[in-house]
Structure 1
Amino acid sequence: MAGRITALVMPKWGLEMREGRVAGWLVEEGARLEVGTPVIDVETDKISNAVEAPDPGLLRRKVARDGEMLPVKALLGVLAEADVPDAEVDAFVAAYEVPPADDAGEDEGPAYAWAEVDGIRVRYARRGPPAGVPVLFLHGYGGDLGNWLFNLDAVAAVAPVIALDLPGHGQSDARLPGASLADFAAFVAAFLAKIGVDRVHVVGHSMGGAIGAQLALDHPARVVSLALIDAAGLGAEINGDYTGGFARATSRRELKPVVEQLFADPTLASRRMVEDLLRYKRVDGVGALLDALQGTLFPNGRQADTPGLRLGESDAPLLVVWGAQDRVIPAAHAAQAPRRALVEVLQGAGHMAMMEKPGEVNTLLKRHIGA
């Protein structure tokens, strides 16, 4: 019976998500769905997003109710073709049980690991199959590995993944290996050596994209392929009001309008997101290191270095993804990528394209890595 029916379930977005609230259905029962069709909006304590159809079919049952708080893997709805009898659908709903949170297939091992590299302790996470070339995710300025909450599990379905809190970010030590892109690239290479990984597919967002480009130039044997998402390093222009405002903000009132610039839809800058960023910024040493990074990488509202423009020297396959409404780094920089790059500009997304258009970004990443 299960082979004829697809369960639409509460997703697990990020390593710490345990439940989500149903914000509203986007389609009616009986609607024909294709893979990737947005079906239902779900809110977490960090962000809201649409759950997409995992398979084609008809939406035969809405099980979850608007406003309901449900655990990860809870049944939201049922997809099946018209030739599946109603009684079979009803029996599937009645028999469905939410897998336990510690189900062996859900989380293998601890959520996070730690490594000390050149005297700096950094947090990272590993997911996915044990074999294959890992995909290394590098976040941007002021971010952390949680920026990939919509992407890690999707990519881990086809390859091992590693997500890192860069030095001075997230829960890693509030220390820098140096403030230049070359310093960070050398640190990432040393980190990979520390955890016993020789080669990776690199996925970098914003500053993390520039670090990934620098890694491909300075340590080419480490980089199998490179995917840049709204990346720094492909042009000189950058929104200095954002980088400077982020470094200077000390209150929610100051930080919220800055964070809103990250998204095409400013309402995605949730209260929890702003509070988490304020908590990070209040860690001893973080203010000084953000100032140091901004002064070195983005002085006077310009990008000091553009390693992405030198990627013609690299043989690594290159994917460039940009949000068309990016207000931090102009989407026009995508056209400045090397001619061999596959370039995709996504409408309706800003600087956080991997969070705003996760389905499209994940499809592009899996295709790029598989190729």
Structure 2
Amino acid sequence: MSVDETLRRRNAIPSDRPVAGAGECEMSSRQLKVFGKSIRVAVWPCHGKARTPLLLLNGIGASLEMLTPFADALADREIVAFDVPGSGKSEATILPYRLWMLSMLASGVLDQLGYGRVDVLGVSWGGALAQQFALQNPRRCRKLVLAATSQGMLMVPPRLSVLSKFMTPRRFNDPGYRKQIAGEIYGGKARTEHLLVEEFRTTSRRGYLYQQLALVGWTSMPWLPLLAQPTLVLAGDDDPVVPLANARVLSMLIRDSRLRVLNDGHLFLISSAEEAANAVREFLDANGRDTNGKA
């Protein structure tokens, strides 16, 4: 049974978009009830060689649409993602949450979709969630990719002028402001390629705040050496938000890791999607058994 058929039968919720036909990898998204909350989930199906599915975990305030350039560039692998509560089209929570709770939510999404073992890629804020997921799910997470992210509260910080602009959802909700500051806070190709900002969608203030609160006091540094998953650390050499030194710390502390630095900024999964996808594909396909990940 296909993923879309499974979703329709288990949840009886109509799809937001048409299901892709044979040979295509068009995203199909829909709402699922997970732990009592309506969560928007997307699947980019792949009809080629069966490989371990890839779970994508997005950045703070970002909706599924932000992942499309990278997912399109990695079209030979089945990809699943979801909007974090309060972002995109997922229902907001009443109370704040912690990353370990979102890790459980991610497992609930995978369970409903019928996935067992997966590879996991987390970008920026989602990279922290990816680390947490790998810690809580050592058997379910086969390989780990950490993109433009850090070890949390003990990270090498950005400049205050960058941090102050990054901490507000205005960069999502005000296109003029976003265009004005994009180069300064994202660096790399965002300094000149203004089309990059078109991938953004509006986000809620409460959802954004709760994502920020989830990171308060959180750091992975003490337990990074415990992660057993082979890990690829991806970083931009001009990332004002997450300075490159953080990627070096991650790759130093994770025992089975490798570092790849791209000539770009914080948004390299969008602006250098092909290069990033090739690096991820090479890493995920190298060494070891790869399966279709279905439970």
Q: TM-score range by the shorter chain?
A: 0.7 to 0.9
Pairing 1:112–2:29 present: yes
Higher strand share: 1
Q: Which residue in 2 is equivalent to 1:289?
A: 207
In structure 2, C-alpha distance between the alignment counterparts of 1:318 and 1:350, rounded to whole Å = 20
| 8 Å Cα contact 1:247/1:290 also seen in 2 | no
Displacement over 4 Å in runs of 4+? 247-250
Q: Which residue in 2 is equivalent to 1:262?
A: 186
Which of these residues, 90, 96, 103, is aligned with residue 172 of structure 1?
A: 90
- CA 1:295/1:167 → structure 2, altered by over 3 Å: closer, same or farther? closer
Which of these residues, 237, 246, 265, is aligned with residue 169 of structure 2?
A: 246
Pairing 1:354–2:269 present: yes
Deviation, 1:296, is 4.2
Q: Which residue in 2 is equivalent to 1:333?
A: 246
1:122-141 aligned at under 5 Å gives the runs 122-126=39-43, 127-129=45-47, 131-141=50-60
1:214-233 aligned at under 5 Å gives the runs 214-233=132-151
Pairing 1:204–2:122 present: yes
In structure 2, C-alpha distance between the alignment counterparts of 1:308 and 1:196, rounded to whole Å = 32
**Higher RCO structure (Cα 8 Å, ≥6 apart):** 2
1:298-317 aligned at under 5 Å gives the runs 304-307=217-220, 310-317=223-230
Question: Where in structure 2 are there 5+ consecutive unaligned residues?
Answer: 1-15, 287-295
Q: Which residue in 2 is equivalent to 1:273?
A: 198
Q: Tell me, what secondary structure is at the counterpart of 1:114?
A: strand
State, as a whole percentage, how many aligned pairs show the same letter.
Answer: 26
Matched pairs, number:
256
TM-score, scaled to structure 1: 0.62
Deviation, 1:253, is 4.2
Which of these residues, 22, 38, 41, is aligned with residue 121 of structure 1?
A: 38
- RMSD, matched Cα: 2.8
Larger radius of gyration, structure 1 or 2?
Answer: 1
TM-score, scaled to structure 2: 0.76
Q: Which amino acid aligns with 1:322?
A: A
Q: Which amino acid aligns with 2:226?
A: E
In structure 2, C-alpha distance between the alignment counterparts of 1:368 and 1:325, rounded to whole Å = 23
In structure 2, C-alpha distance between the alignment counterparts of 1:288 and 1:267, rounded to whole Å = 31
Deviation, 1:308, is 5.8
Question: Where in structure 1 are there 5+ consecutive unaligned residues?
Answer: 1-15, 17-101, 299-303
| 8 Å Cα contact 1:112/1:123 also seen in 2 | yes
